Amino acid sequence: MPDDFLIRAALAGIGLMLAAGPLGAFVVWRRMAYMGDATAHAAVLGVALALATELPVAFGTGVVALAMALAVAGLSGRGRTADTALGVLAHSALALGLVAVSFLKGVRVDLSAYLFGDVLSVTRGDLVWIWGGAAAVLALLAWRWNRLLTATVNEELAQAAGLDPRREKLVLTLALALVVAVAIKIVGALLVAAMLIIPAASARAFARTPEAMAAWAVGLGIVAVLAGLWASLGFDTPAGPSIVAAAAAIFCLSLIPGRSAR
């Protein structure tokens, strides 16, 4: 039987992908990759604020990630100026978070665990937070699925149907912030966006409907989690980067069917 810490790590990764798979599909469809990066980088600043105020780290990362996601959402769609602003926000938030942690006196923290994840140290309490957050994201996406899909396909069509595309974008923003807060323990702030984008991009090769793509993203993400943990255990490599590397390998394999068809 696998050790308890390995089982907890696998359950944490599976819980993350249940939420990150469907949300990642929307990130790919709406070309929100930069938004995911900026939101994830801001989570490091949330870690610093949580440690300074003695609040739970998950709460601090969630609040700051949400604030950054809202700021990024307000800037998106404004041309090249927005791209520059997004870049400034993303990297400034990361740098400010790292600097802020260095000013904390009497607080010893392993920053690499927040930058690259430390899934092997997940506790039962962490599992409750991860699965609870994943369930909330899934419920939110299931509730708004048709509306989100309509607004993603064509905003004018959504408006004609009586929908507000800005409201649907806000729903995705809330879900993204929650996934970042959940994922920082598993793959870290620098790799969160990878687990949103890569499984969803891999799923494109196998799916013919939006729902199938979301399901494939979940399945391929879970395979990447288990393969990454196996590689980490067998080759003594960092768990978070190993999971992302496994996802990247799956993406490369997903390109083969498309080439064969062409």
Mean pLDDT check: name the lowest of 17-31, 102-116, 172-186.
102-116
Number of Cβ within 10 Å of residue 124's Cβ equals 9
**Angle at 197 (CA atoms; ends 249, 2), nearest 5 degrees:** 55
| Of residues 35 and 133, more confidently modeled | 133
Locate 96 and state its tokens: 């400010």
For residue 196, the model assigns a pLDDT of 94
76 pLDDT higher than 80 = no
77 pLDDT higher than 80 = no
pLDDT tens track for 245-256: 999 999 999 998
Counting other chains too, the contacts that 143-146 makes at CB distance below 8 Å and 24 or more residues apart are 144/168, 144/171
**Angle at 29 (CA atoms; ends 132, 168), nearest 5 degrees:** 60
DSSP result, 77-97 = TSTHHHHHHHHHHHHHHHHHH
pLDDT tens track for 114-154: 888 888 889 998 999 999 999 999 999 999 999 999 998 88
199: amino acid identity, one letter? P
Q: Which H or E run contains 28?
A: helix 4-29
107 pLDDT higher than 70 = no
For residue 2, the model assigns a pLDDT of 64
Cα separation, 184 vs 119, whole angstroms = 9
For residue 65, the model assigns a pLDDT of 81
Cα separation, 213 vs 230, whole angstroms = 25
Q: What pLDDT band is residue 82 in, cutting at 50, 70 and 90? A: low
209 pLDDT higher than 90 = yes
**For the ranges 54-63, 91-100, 145-154, 157-166, the one whose mean pLDDT is highest:** 145-154
Query: Is 129 exposed, middle or buried (CB count within 10 Å of its CB: 0-12, 13-18, 19+)?
Result: buried
